[in-house]
Amino acid sequence: MIGKDRIFTILNGILKKSPAEQTEAVFLGTSSGQTRFANSYIHQNAYESSIRIFFRAVVGKKIGVVSTSSMLKDDLNSALLNAYNIAMNQCENPDFTELPSQAVYQRVKSHYSETAKFTPMQRAHKIKMIFNKATKQHLTVAGRFFTSELEVAVVNTNGIEAYQPLTSAAVNVTIMGDNSSGYAEGLSRDVRKIKFDRIAETATQKCLDSANPIEITPGKYNVILEPKAVAEIIEWMNYTGFGAKRLEEGTSFLSNRAGKKVMGENISIYDDGLDPDGLPMPFDFEGVPKRKVVFVKKGLAGNAVYDTINANRAGVKSTGHALTPDSSGETFSLNTFVAGAKNSLSSMISKTEKGILVTRFHYVNGMLDTRKALMTGMTRDGTFLIKKGKIVSGIKNLRFTESMLRAFSQVKMISRDRQAINTWWSDVGCIVAPTMLITGFNFSGKTEF
C-alpha cells in the first residue's frame, strides 16, 4: 500500500508541471491474491501487484488522456506531456466545460487490514475445508477465492483531492456431482465476514438436491429467481439502460419514459454508492461525490447515471458515476440495489403450486431488444421443479427469452433478505438483490443436461 500522502505528493508534484489549462490524475494501485480451484485442488494461484495512473489534460475544450503503469518520475512526466500533446491535436468536445472542483466526501469504512493481509496459505486453508466437506459426499469442488486491496485517488488542478483505500474478498463455489451441480457465493470488504461453512453447505445441498435432473417442456412458468439470478439480469439492465448515453440516444428502456410505468409497483431499482449493504465507494473517477440515483421507483421510470460531460450535455449535474478517463464517456451504476420487501424464500416456495427455482443464470445477453429489456440466458448450477409448495426434483437446464419489463411487471413476491453479489467490478461496487417470485416467465428452449 502506497498511502494517501505519498500518492497526493507524487501526483500534485507532476500536475504542477502540467502545460495544460486543466489537468487531472487518477491513480489505481492494486495488490490481490487470486486462488482458483477445480476438481478439488488449486490449479491457478496468483499474486498481482499493479499500478495505473491516468492523466487527463485539457486545453480549451480539447481533451487528451494517457495512462501508464509506471511510477517512475520520468515516465509520469512523459505520460502527462503525451496527454497534453494529444489534447493539442484533438478536436473540441462542446459538452466539456471544466474539470470538477473541490468537493467534500462522506467518510466510508471500506478497508480491512485482515483482508489486505490474507496470505496464499490462509486462502488454501479455507478452500481445503470446503474440499474436505465435499469429498465426504463424493463430490468435487470448483471455484475462486480472491482477496484484494485497492487504492483509488483523484487529483486535479481545480482542487479535487480524493482518496479511498478499499479491500474486497469474494468466494464462489460450485459443487459438482455426477449429473448435477450446486452454486453459492459470498462477498464482503472484510474477509472475516464471509461464511465459508454456509456457502459450502448451500452449494452442496443444491448439488445433491438436483441430482438425476428430469427434463421439462419449455414454456411459461412461475419462477423463483434467487439473488444471483436477479443480479445477472440487473447487470444487463445496467449495460443497456442505466447509463446517460443509452438514455440520451433512445436505446434505454428508460428513454422518453420518465415518470411512466415500466414495471410493477413493487419494483424499485437504484444506485447508492454510500449504502453499507453494498460495497460503498464515496466518489467516482472524476472525484465527484456519489449521489443516489433511482432508475425505477415503484414501477415508474426514473433517471440515469451521469458524469460531468454527459451531465453538461443534458443540462443536469453529475451524479458521480464517471468511469476511468479512458471510458469514452460511458457511465455505469457500480452500486446497484433492488429494493427488498417482506417475504422469504421458503414462503415463496410454499406458495408456488407449480414453478421453477433458479439459482443462477449463465451467459445472459440483453442486446436482443434493449427498449423492451428483452434478454436471453440459460439456467445453471441448481434448477429445480416446485410442485404443491415443495421442491420435488432437479430439472435439466432451460433457456429463457423474456422482456424484463414484462417479467418485472409480474413480480408477486420479493424477499426481505438481500445478498451482495460479486461482479467483475467488485473492488468498487456490487449488485445487491433479493429473491423474486415472477409469474409467467418465458422459457424458450432446453439443453441436454
List binders of other proteins among 31-50 (CB under 8 A). Answer: 32-50
Extract the C-alpha cell encoding 395: 430439472
Using CB under 8 A as the binding rule, whether residue 216 contacts other proteins is answered as: no
Extract the C-alpha cell encoding 341: 420487501
Q: How many residues bind other proteins (CB under 8 A)?
A: 98
Q: Is the dihedral of CA 248, 241, 429, 121 positive or negative?
A: negative
Q: Which of 143, 243, 278, 340 binds other proteins (CB under 8 A)?
A: 143
Using CB under 8 A as the binding rule, whether residue 71 contacts other proteins is answered as: yes
Using CB under 8 A as the binding rule, whether residue 382 contacts other proteins is answered as: no
Using CB under 8 A as the binding rule, whether residue 191 contacts other proteins is answered as: no
Q: Which of 2, 81, 86, 314 binds other proteins (CB under 8 A)?
A: 86
The rounded distance, in Å, linking the Cα atoms of 345 and 349 is 6
- Closest contact distance (angstroms) between CB of 74 and other proteins is 12
Query: Within 13 A of 90's CA, how many CA atoms are on the CB side?
Result: 20
Q: Which of 378, 404, 428, 433 binds other proteins (CB under 8 A)?
A: 378
Pick between residue 60 and residue 389 the one whose CB is nearest to other proteins: 60
- Closest contact distance (angstroms) between CB of 379 and other proteins is 9
The rounded distance, in Å, linking the Cα atoms of 406 and 441 is 9
* Neighbour-count burial for 380-416, b at 16+ CB within 10 Å, e otherwise: bbbbbbbeeeebeebbbbbbbebbbbbbbbbbbbbbe
Single out the segment in contact with other proteins by CB under 8 A; choices: 157-165, 187-195, 245-253, 344-352. Answer: 245-253
Grid cell 471510458 is found at: 327
Q: Which of 328, 342, 353, 388 binds other proteins (CB under 8 A)?
A: 328
Segment holding 134, helix H or strand E:
helix 120-136
Q: Which of 20, 25, 63, 349 binds other proteins (CB under 8 A)?
A: 63
Q: Please give the DSSP secondary-structure letter assigned to residue 99.
A: P
Sketch the per residue contact string, 387 through 426, with other proteins: x for CB under 8 A, - otherwise.
Answer: ----------x-x-xxx--------------------x--
193: left (phi over 0), alpha (psi -120 to 50) or beta: alpha
- Residue 367, classed as helix, strand or coil, is strand
Sketch the per residue contact string, 348 through 377, with other proteins: x for CB under 8 A, - otherwise.
Answer: --------------xxxxxxxxxxx-x-xx
Axis-axis angle for helices 73-89, 4-15 (nearest 10): 50
Using CB under 8 A as the binding rule, whether residue 131 contacts other proteins is answered as: yes
Using CB under 8 A as the binding rule, whether residue 445 contacts other proteins is answered as: yes
Segment holding 403, helix H or strand E:
strand 398-403
Distance of CA 107 to the CA centre of its chain: 22
- Closest contact distance (angstroms) between CB of 201 and other proteins is 18
Which residues, numbered 246-285, are part of the site for other proteins (CB under 8 A)?
249-251, 255
Q: CB of 173 within 8 A of CB of 185? A: yes
